[in-house]
Each structure stands twice: as C-alpha cells, then as structure tokens.
Amino acid sequence: MSISKIITIKNLSFAYQRDNNILEDIDLEVFGNDFLGVIGPNGGGKTTLLKIILGLLKPDKGNISVFDKKPKKARDLIGYVPQFLEIDLNCPVSVLDIVLMGILSRKKIFQKYNKEDLKSAKQALKFVDLWNLKDRQIGELSGGQRQRIYIARALIRKPKLLILDEPTASIDEKSERDFWELLEKINKNAAIIIVSHDIGVVFKHVNKVACLNKKLYCHSTNEMTNEMLDKTYKCDIELLGHGLPHRVLKKHN
C-alpha cells in the first residue's frame, strides 16, 4: 500500500459567519496508510473539516490538496459515510439498490447500471459479509447491518480514502466491535479518517489522532497526553468519553 502523502492542509481557516472562525490556522498531513481519528467537542469544527476535504466547502484562507488535486476534483478517490444518511427506512428499496447509489454520480441521467457496476456492488457487499442480504429491504436490517451497508455503498467506488462521520452513534456493542474490525481490514488498502466522540475506542484502533476545537493538534496515539486532550476539550475528559477516566487513557501515552 502506498504511504505517500494524500492530504496536505496549510494555514486553513473557515467561517460560516464573518469574523467567527469555525476552523483556524489548520495544518494537517494525511498519508496513504493512515488511520486518523478526529476527536473534539460538539461545535469544534470536525464535520466542517470533513466537508472541506470533500470539496463541499471552500476555505476562507489557506490551502488544501487531496491526492495532489483540488478537493472537488478528488471525489472519485474518496468514499464517504455521513453521520446521517437520508434514506427513508420505510421505502421499498433493496440493500443492493442502496449500495449501487454509491456510483450514481458517475452515471449519466437515466443511464442503467451495467454488469461491471453489479460486479462492483457484489464485491463490496461480500467484503462487508452481507451479500446474502442483497434483496432485503433496508428498513428490515439492524442498525449494525445498515452501517455496514453504508460502508459498502462507499466502498463500491473503490476509494483510496474512506471518511466516516460519527459512524457508531446508533449501533450496539457487538456491532461496534465488528465495525472496527471491518475498518482495520479496509485500512490495509485505503487511508481512513473517522470522526468519533468515543475517545477510548478510537485510541485502541487508530494510529494517529487529531484533536480539533477550532484549532487542530495532531499526534500519533503514543504521543498523546492528558494535557493535549484537556487543551482541546477545555473541560474534564471524563464528561466526554462516556465516563472514561483519564487513568484509562494513560496506557496509550
């Protein structure tokens, strides 16, 4: 797997309202083998940063390149699993249909899926071990199964970077363990950026952590200290990590 630099961000700032920066002087480098966890308080700019990487928002200041391109030009190389996917669970749409939606942007209006598209969908569903559910309606699945389907929907693009925004918010403990195992498998062939509030779990699986609260502090997991986390959150970490006390994090220092 390539370990070349795939994202370069320099002195980036962004504001939805003038003179009220959501992101300020952000510097970040992401490499082809990275598994980056982005943590920070609500309103700290995490989702905004993802949208800038995806080319959905433009920075007010600074520079960003993704695969040596402008972010908007690099979208075909990125798979994205948003925090909230607007799919009506009562709509009679199959699992296979959901996965094929991942390549809709590559199709012309009214253009039908071809054999290669169906082959890619099959590969993605087999990768997440849900090919046997291809004809089931999405609303019939559990939260954990749906999350894996949404990952398959991103993987059908054969991305070199997978971005996930709070993907474990609505799945049970068993599904969450399976989910992280799946991400580790994906990381063998693609870089991953994941936003999560579950600090303890993030530290177990990623190899780099970005603490973001308007400003960004990025470190490998074995460099993180409680002081760095406190600087980001500006409050007791116990209140944010589902009751996770500082002493649990110290084993990762």
Q: What is the pLDDT along the chain (253 residues), one digit of tens a residue?
A: 447 999 999 999 999 988 789 999 999 999 999 999 998 888 889 999 999 999 999 999 999 999 999 999 999 999 999 876 666 666 778 899 999 988 887 777 777 888 999 999 999 999 999 999 999 988 888 888 888 999 999 999 999 999 999 877 666 677 788 888 999 999 999 999 999 877 777 888 898 989 899 999 887 765 556 666 666 655 444 434 433 333 334 433 3
* β-strand pairing of 20-31 with 191-195: unpaired
Beta partners for 14?
23
The structural domains of the chain, ordered by start, are 5-89+161-252 (3.40.50.300)
| Burial per residue of 161-180, b for 16 or more beta-carbon CB atoms within 10 angstroms, e otherwise | bbbbbbbbeebeeebbebbb
